[in-house]
């Protein structure tokens, strides 16, 4: 199948800024769906609130946009009602890691059968470039004029600890790897999580004087190292680098399957 | 119709009614005095092929309920004041996205954590206006265990018919009161309409009969787009003033045009009486008792028991109060429905006063009787 068959071309042009990474992630997702040969009615894109949250408008299969931070809780209900649906929850870093952090941990812990895809652009883009929980310390944003005071948290490690079946991180610069991770995540039964580091030239790149879209792509390339290499590095060398790669890949029973076996004695409907 | 008798508490009646009405999904978070509803659902739903999921908070609970409903299951949750506050944003989402679901709110003493085990009727306005934005919403108020059952079944029917969230307001007293009730062997249930016609270009939010769209479920071959943003008939976000204006009007009108088909007020006592009582929920029990004593004393008293609080049954209230010299509103709050009765603009103007109690105790027949004698004398 061709990825364009999932694209709502009549809704283009999209509202994202030139040089934004959201389109690359959306394309990677559609490429993965095409490679898997999924039918339109078999897939649901659930999004959060924010720039990436508008992605549902550009696909021609089932889409859902709920309230800020709650995507995974809504999707929990959808999954349990329609377990055969492939659900992809596309969220931003503010949406998933701040207001939605509780739902993220518990969806991973329950091992709900869906794919959580977080575009981490290091700030709240839609509201004007405020810092998010995933904005690196010291970064300049519209609410941290002398540098962000707080530190970050690692969503990948959290997901792994909480019980996700699949955890991976990459960037939009590594587009083929991104597509492969998304494909593996969708194919995996249980909770899958992929974090995508992504450029926001309009706010994060500009405020931190990293440069335009091309420079931001270089920044993503130069500031990430493969997980294996990262683990062998000395602590002081890790500095502000991000690892990329696969952190977890296991096959624990997802919530619906476990519920069916235990509470219903295997009976479905 | 044949019935079977059961001895149940209010919470159990709500849970059982949900399952009998066809609910196959419950998501909730433990809270007093509503917990028995979750406990019972966790036990009986799997036996009916349904699912109980205990979420991380009330925000997640109502979100999961909405998700399950969009997947095609009848779904509900139960909570109490603090949980209702947390659910408000997503109740607004369910209104905007037209998602059928039922919320049982067992009122407890508030505001804030208040007293978790004591009753109140303080959430009447929170149920009406708790979520932001302009909207209409259906709120039902049972006064007995039987009505807990009947109105919960009705709540599911109304939710499906109007594609909207419906709130059932009970309270800590009815929730734990045990009464004998009759459960009909057969219930009239409303099932969701299914889309028909070509799959391509189906418009899930185009108004159907009575202004209610025929919306597919997720996973159907009809593609469904759902958003809390203002959206057009295809489900795409829109900032067009005309689209926004028409949507908000339709969402309110699809309910309010049919207010006469919602559970109607019950009338007790003397028609065209000089003193008319308006009450609902647990307080209506005391009011009813007081009215029967007062009628025996040859006082001219009648009473209207509201089953639907919102949309407010204004015409019925006006009619019942047409000949009244005094109107007493009996409720366990500081006049939330009394203010609404005053807003009916009864003509000629007459005394409308409140018989209320806000000290965690329930209103007694004696308290109501004293008030009746006070105005009837
Ligand atoms: S503000 Fe940033 S994240 Fe949002 S569309 Fe523009 S570049 Fe992308």
The rounded Å distance from CA A23 to ligand 1 centre is 10
Mark whether B45 and B187 lie in a shared domain: yes
Residues B277 and B253 reside in one and the same domain: no
Residue A266 pLDDT class (50, 70, 90 cuts): low
* Residue A1, pLDDT score: 87
A17 lines ligand 1 (CB under 6 A): yes
Q: Could you read off the pLDDT of B325-342 as tens digits, one per residue?
A: 999 999 999 999 999 999
The whole-chain average pLDDT of chain A stands at 96
Place B126 in a pLDDT band, splitting at 50, 70 and 90. very high
A200 belongs to a structural domain:
yes
Q: What percent of chain A has pLDDT over 70?
A: 99
Chain B's closest residue to A104, CA to CA, is: B56
Separation CA B62–CA B53 (nearest Å): 11
Is A31 domain-assigned? yes
In this complex, is the C-beta atom of B70 within 8 Å of any C-beta atom belonging to chain A? Answer: yes
Q: CB of B329 within 8 A of CB of B355?
A: yes
Final residue belonging to a domain, choices B263, B281, B308: B263
Query: In total, how many domains does chain A have?
Result: 1
What band does B347 get if pLDDT is binned at 50, 70 and 90? confident
Sort out which chain A residues have CB atoms less than 8 A from B235's CB and list them: 63
Predicted confidence band of residue B105 (pLDDT cuts 50, 70, 90): very high
On whether both B236 and B128 belong to a single domain, the answer is: yes
Q: Are residues B286 and B242 in the same domain?
A: no
Task: Identify the domain containing residue A75 by its residue range.
Answer: 21-268
CATH of the domain at B29: 3.40.50.970
Which pLDDT does position A268 carry in this prediction? 57
Q: Give the per-residue pLDDT at A267.
A: 60
- For residue A153, what is the domain's CATH number? 3.40.50.970
Q: Which residues contact A12 (CB under 8 A, 6 or more apart)?
A: A58
pLDDT digits (tens, 9 = 90+) for B261-292: 999 999 999 999 999 999 999 999 999 999 99
Q: In this structure, are B185 and B257 located in the same domain?
A: yes
pLDDT in tens, A83-132: 999 999 999 999 999 999 999 999 999 999 999 999 999 999 999 999 99
The pLDDT score that the predictor gives to residue B350 is: 80
| B303 & B188 share domain | no
> Tens of pLDDT along A44-80?
999 999 999 999 999 999 999 999 999 999 999 999 9
The tens digit of pLDDT for each residue in B217-265 reads 999 999 999 999 999 999 999 999 999 999 999 999 999 999 999 999 9
pLDDT of residue A264: 78
The answer to the question of residue A95 being in a domain is: yes
| B92 and B240 share one domain | yes
Q: Is residue A3 part of a domain?
A: no
Residue A7 in contact with partner chain B when CB distance is under 8 A: no
Assess if residue A46 is contained within a domain. Answer: yes
Domain of residue B312, residue span: 266-376
Is B69 close to A106, i.e. CB distance below 8 A? no
Q: Provide the angle, in degrees to the nearest 10, between the axes of the packed helices B58-70 and A101-110.
A: 60
Residue B131 pLDDT level (bands cut at 50, 70, 90) = very high
Q: Are residues B281 and B193 in the same domain?
A: no
Question: How many Cα atoms occupy the beta-carbon half-sphere of B70 within 13 Å?
Answer: 33
B217 chain-A contacts, CB cut-off 8 A: 81-82
* pLDDT of A239: 87
The answer to whether B33 contacts chain A (CB < 8 Å) is: no
Nearest by CB to residue B71, choosing from A11, A78, A267, is: A78
For residue B217, what are its two tokens? 């479920």
pLDDT at A241: 95
pLDDT tens figures, A119-166: 999 999 999 999 999 999 999 999 999 999 999 999 999 999 999 999
pLDDT band of residue A265 (cuts 50, 70, 90) is confident
Do B256 and B109 lie in a common domain?
Answer: yes
- Please report the atom of ligand 1 found closest to the CA of residue A129: 1
**Closest to B86 in 3D by CA, of A224, A67, A251:** A67
Q: Are residues B253 and B271 in the same domain?
A: no
Q: List CB contacts of B298: < 8 A, sequence separation 6 or more.
A: none
pLDDT of residue A258: 97
Which ranges of chain A does DSSP label H, i.e. alpha helix?
Answer: 22-36, 71-81, 93-94, 101-110, 155-162, 175-187, 206-207, 213-222, 227-232, 235-238, 255-263
CB contact under 8 A, B25 and A67: no
> At which of B263, B280, B295 does a domain end?
B263
pLDDT for A240 beyond 90:
no
Distance CA B88, CA B70 (A): 18
- State whether B229 and B316 are in the same domain: no
Query: What residues pair up with B352 in beta bridges, in sequence order?
Result: B327
Establish if A194 belongs to a structural domain: yes
Distance from CA of B246 to the nearest CA of A (A): 21
> Is A217 part of any domain?
yes
pLDDT tops 70 at residue B18: yes
| Among A12, A90, A57, residue whose Cα is nearest residue B227 | A57
How many domains is chain B built from?
Answer: 2
For B141-180, the pLDDT digits (tens) are 999 999 999 999 999 999 999 999 999 999 999 999 999 9
Query: Looking at the structure, do residues B110 and B197 belong to the same domain, yes or no?
Result: yes
Residue A175 has pLDDT above 90, yes or no: yes
The verdict on B223 touching A (C-beta cutoff 8 Å) is: yes
């Amino acid at each position: 199948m061709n990825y364009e068959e999932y694209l709502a071309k009549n809704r283009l042009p999209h509202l994202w800024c030139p040089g934004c990474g959201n389109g690359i992630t959306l394309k990677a997702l559609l490429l993965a769906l095409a490679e898997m040969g999924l039918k339109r009615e078999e897939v649901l894109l659930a999004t959060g609130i924010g720039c990436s949250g508008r992605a549902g408008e550009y696909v021609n299969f089932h889409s859902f946009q709920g309230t800020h931070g709650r995507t995974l809780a809504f999707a929990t209900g959808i999954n349990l009602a329609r377990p055969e649906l492939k659900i992809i929850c596309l969220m931003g870093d503010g949406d998933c890691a701040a207001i939605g952090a509780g739902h993220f941990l518990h969806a991973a812990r329950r091992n709900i059968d869906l794919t959580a895809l977080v575009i981490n652009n290091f700030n709240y883009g839609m509201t004007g470039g405020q810092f998010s929980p995933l904005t690196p310390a010291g970064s300049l944003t519209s609410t941290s004029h002398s540098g962000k005071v707080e530190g970050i948290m690692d969503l990948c490690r959290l997901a792994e600890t909480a019980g996700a079946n699949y955890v991976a991180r990459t960037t939009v610069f590594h587009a083929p790897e991104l597509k492969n991770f998304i494909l593996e995540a969708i194919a995996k039964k249980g909770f899958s999580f992929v974090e995508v580091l992504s450029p926001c030239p309009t706010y994060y790149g500009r405020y931190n004087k990293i440069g335009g879209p091309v420079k931001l792509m270089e920044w993503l390339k130069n500031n990430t190292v493969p997980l294996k290499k990262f683990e062998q590095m000395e602590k002081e060398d890790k500095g502000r680098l991000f690892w990329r790669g696969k952190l977890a890949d296991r096959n624990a029973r997802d919530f619906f399957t476990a519920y069916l076996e235990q509470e219903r004695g295997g009976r479905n409907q | 119709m044949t019935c079977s008798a059961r001895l149940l508490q209010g919470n159990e009646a709500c849970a059982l009614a949900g399952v009998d009405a066809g609910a196959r999904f419950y998501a909730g978070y433990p809270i007093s005095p509503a917990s028995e509803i979750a406990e019972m659902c966790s036990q009986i739903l799997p036996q009916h092929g349904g699912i109980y999921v205990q979420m991380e908070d009330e925000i997640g609970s109502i979100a999961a309920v909405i998700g399950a409903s969009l997947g095609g299951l009848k779904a509900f949750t139960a909570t109490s004041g603090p949980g209702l506050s947390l659910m408000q944003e997503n109740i607004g989402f369910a209104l905007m996205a037209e998602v059928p679901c039922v919320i049982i709110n067992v009122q407890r003493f508030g505001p804030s954590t208040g007293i978790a085990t004591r009753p109140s009727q303080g959430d009447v306005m929170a149920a009406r206006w708790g979520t932001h934005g302009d909207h209409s919403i259906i709120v039902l108020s049972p006064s007995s265990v039987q009505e807990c059952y009947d109105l919960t079944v009705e709540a599911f029917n109304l939710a499906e018919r109007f594609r909207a969230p419906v709130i059932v307001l009970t309270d800590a007293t009815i929730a734990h009161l045990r009464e004998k009730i009759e459960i009909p062997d057969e219930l009239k249930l409303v099932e969701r309409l299914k889309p028909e016609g070509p799959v391509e270009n189906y418009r899930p939010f185009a108004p159907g009969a009575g202004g209610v769209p025929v919306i597919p479920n997720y996973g159907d071959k009809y593609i469904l787009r759902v958003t809390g943003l203002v959206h057009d008939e295809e489900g795409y976000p829109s900032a067009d003033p005309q689209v926004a204006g028409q949507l908000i009007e339709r969402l309110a009108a699809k309910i309010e045009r049919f207010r006469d088909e919602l559970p109607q007020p019950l009338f007790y006592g003397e028609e065209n009486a000089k003193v008319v009582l308006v009450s609902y929920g647990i307080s209506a029990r005391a009011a009813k008792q007081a009215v029967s004593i007062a009628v025996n004393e040859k006082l001219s008293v009648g009473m209207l028991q509201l089953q639907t609080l919102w949309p407010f049954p204004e015409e019925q209230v006006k009619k019942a109060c047409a000949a009244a010299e005094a109107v007493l509103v009996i409720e366990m709050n500081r006049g939330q429905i009394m203010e609404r009765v005053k807003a009916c603009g009864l003509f000629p103007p007459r005394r409308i006063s409140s018989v209320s109690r806000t000290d965690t105790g329930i209103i007694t027949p004696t308290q109501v009787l004293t008030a009746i004698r006070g105005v009837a004398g």
